[in-house]
Amino acid sequence: MTNKVTAFAPATCGNVCVGYDILGLCYSGAGDKVTVQKIAKPEVIIESIEGEDSLSCDPKKNTAGIVLLELIKEQKLSFGFSISIEKGISLGSGMGGSAASAVAALLAANSFLETPLSKSTLLEYSLKGEELASGHAHADNVAPCLYGGLVLLSNGEVVELPFPKFIQILLIHPHLTVNTKDARKVLKSEIKMKDYVKQSENLAGFITGLYKNDPGLIKKSFEDVLVEPLRSKLTKGFSHCQELAKAEGVLGYALSGSGPSQIALCESHEQADNINKIVTSYYESEGIKVDTFIGSINSEGAKLL
Ligand code: HSE
């Protein structure tokens, strides 16, 4: 057994427009890396954090740290971990950064266990990190991060959904910050029956469209009538960019998680390129930097390096 193990965990999109807290998708491209070393005492030491200045090195206040403390406690480990974190995903970007650090830490630490734990057990531990980050143990970032692909959280089960190969994903990350905790506070605790019916129609239509490989049904169904109307104003330019993308015939355009990042589902690489140019030029004209990435879905998820 080597002394140090590094894991990479990718960025993810929570909600995927129509599935608040129950749908999540794994992006190709950006991600966090965590290197874990076994230490004698059953404790967690955060040695270093690169790429993000505002994160705490107190393991109880860091998603990678808190999930390892939970692992040590629950598994009654006699040893602990020293970790180094390389953040590739900015905080408050809507790309599942807190989930990625937690998942990478757990996956790497799992290699030091006599009997490594299953993904579903790692998923349970990773939820501790989400609770710390957003005040709520939603699994729609940690699950796609661990399993890859597009997943549905269904009564405690992770259901892997099909994702048509022709769909190109455009990820847009304007350099703005939206804190998920705050973005959850703007939501209402009660919804109107007519909105419930519409959202159910859209969720069912979207999932059916995926199974049937039907771009028309996917496009018709990719609309969030519950959460997006309350959150869109938190991300400058989102509604405008969504309109611009729709005018180009995009399959779907939504906030990634609680924003400010945005996801566009495109019918071709050419369409993704075109929408990328349009949205990027809008943000640049507003003096806001933007990173974008075009790619297929990441069906692999987190991995050891
Ligand atoms: N489901 C979560 C939310 C995702 O929308 O608050 C956050 O990435």
Q: Are residues 213 and 125 in the same domain?
A: no
Q: Are residues 182 and 148 in the same domain?
A: no
Contact criterion met (CB below 8 Å) for 64 and 83: yes
Whether 180 is a known active-site residue: answer yes
Percent of the chain surpassing pLDDT 70:
99
CA 183–ligand 1 middle distance (angstroms): 8
- Does 19 contact ligand 1 (Cβ within 6 A)? no
Does any domain span residue 303?
Answer: no
- Does 180 contact ligand 1 (Cβ within 6 A)? yes
Span 82-103, pLDDT tens digits? 999 999 999 999 999 999 999 9
Q: Are residues 33 and 82 in the same domain?
A: yes
Q: What confidence category does residue 1 fall into, taking pLDDT thresholds of 50, 70 and 90? A: low
CA 232–ligand 1 middle distance (angstroms): 13
Q: Are residues 119 and 134 in the same domain?
A: yes
CA 180–ligand 1 middle distance (angstroms): 6
CATH classification at residue 48 = 3.30.230.10
AA identity, residue 12: T
Which ligand 1 atom lies nearest to the CA of residue 141?
8
Contact criterion met (CB below 8 Å) for 224 and 200: no
Q: Are residues 196 and 144 in the same domain?
A: no
Q: Is the pLDDT of residue 180 over 90?
A: yes
Instruction: Tell me the two tokens of residue 189.
Output: 């605790």
Q: Are residues 41 and 151 in the same domain?
A: yes
DSSP state of 4: E
Question: Using CB atoms within 10 A of its CB, is residue 251 exposed (0-12), middle (13-18) or buried (19+)?
Answer: buried
Conformational region of residue 156, where left means phi above 0, alpha means psi within -120 to 50, and beta covers everything else: left
Q: Are residues 142 and 191 in the same domain?
A: no
CATH classification at residue 238 = 3.30.70.890
Whether 114 is a known active-site residue: answer no
C-alpha span between 60 and 205 (Å, rounded): 41
Number of folded domains that form the chain? 2
Rounded to two decimals, the pTM is: 0.96
Domain end among 158, 181, 198: 158
Q: Is the pLDDT of residue 150 over 80?
A: yes
Q: Are residues 131 and 255 in the same domain?
A: no
Does any domain span residue 305?
Answer: no
Q: Are residues 287 and 225 in the same domain?
A: yes
Q: Are residues 53 and 18 in the same domain?
A: yes
Contact criterion met (CB below 8 Å) for 180 and 258: yes
pLDDT at 205: 98
Q: Are residues 174 and 148 in the same domain?
A: no
Instruction: Tell me the two tokens of residue 110.
Output: 């799992």
pLDDT at 3: 87
Domain end among 129, 158, 187: 158
Span 236-289, pLDDT tens digits? 999 999 999 999 999 999 999 999 999 999 999 999 999 999 999 999 999 999
Does any domain span residue 301?
Answer: no
Span 7-59, pLDDT tens digits? 999 999 999 999 999 999 999 999 999 999 999 999 999 999 999 988 999 99
Q: What is the mean pLDDT of the chain?
A: 97
Domain span holding position 41: 4-158
Q: In this structure, are strands 252-255 and 23-39 parallel, antiparallel, or unpaired?
A: unpaired
Which ligand 1 atom lies nearest to the CA of residue 258?
5
